[in-house]
Amino acid sequence: MEFFATCKGIPIHISDSKKGEKTVLLMHGYLETLYVWDDFTTPLLPKLRIISIDLPGHGLSGSHMTNNSIEFSSEIAKEVLDICKVETACIVGHSMGGYIALVLMHSGPLADTEEKKIDRDREIALIHKAKLQAIVKMGIPKMFAHENLRKLDEKIFEIVEIAETHDPEGIVASLEGLKTRQDNTEFLRNYDSPLLLVLGMHDYHIPMEKANLLIDLLPKAEKLVLEHSGHIGFLEEPEIVQKKLLDFLNIE
């Protein structure tokens, strides 16, 4: 069921399957929407109760002025779970969404480097010049391993098409939030609950050198390294990721 709720003063687009042995809250990545999870989650129902949202500044959700900070998104996530009357949930996040998750799909706890902040400023400048759709059309295919581009062409087109719902100023606010996020490495190192890292061997954004650094930084985390995936393994090798997620949640 899809609906809207006001969280922290802004409308949030929410999807909730309502039933399941355990609950997961799905947080999508930059330039995505909650619909990116649909193909991945269908085989997981009704074993899992699936709640997903459009993060602030994305899709049909509102935006928090000029900075959709990671802290603000965390507060939104908590309020969504309260609205859905969920006391305990596993947060699964892809890329940007992984900065507040226990299952980090192609994500990590590190803050932006100075070089990355400059890249984000360039992207902000392009968005102010009405180039958001050009950024989407160029950026979304880069999330997939080259070998998967043709077979997942329909999914790529769908993500690009749905990205037309984004408010450019909301995306700018999200980029500002990414630039200003804190390094959470020590927090995750000392966190008592289980963590899961999902990484791709052909990830344009997290190449294996960086992936190995994340593995070293979080030695207690479970790891899944996908041989035929780029930056969006839950669509590129869904069965493997589905099985690993159910194993991680102790669900047969």
Reading the block at residue 46, the tokens are 């009704």
Q: Please state the domain extents for the chain.
A: 2-248
Which residues, 6 or more positions from 110, have their beta carbon under 8 angstroms from its beta carbon? Answer: 183, 185, 214, 217
Give residue-wise pLDDT tens across range 38-69: 999 999 999 999 999 999 999 999 998 899 99
> CB pairs under 8 A, 24+ apart, for 64-67?
64/8, 64/9, 64/10, 64/173, 65/173, 66/172, 66/173, 66/176, 67/173, 67/176, 67/177, 67/180
Q: What is the pTM of this model?
A: 0.97
pLDDT digits (tens, 9 = 90+) for 74-117: 999 999 999 999 999 999 999 999 999 999 999 999 999 999 99
Cis ω on the peptide bond leading into residue 11 (within 30° of 0)? no
Extended strands (E) in 119-221: 196-200
pLDDT for 154-176, tens place per residue? 999 999 999 999 999 999 999 99
Pairing of strands 48-53, 10-16: antiparallel
Report the CATH architecture of 2-248: 3-Layer(aba) Sandwich (3.40)
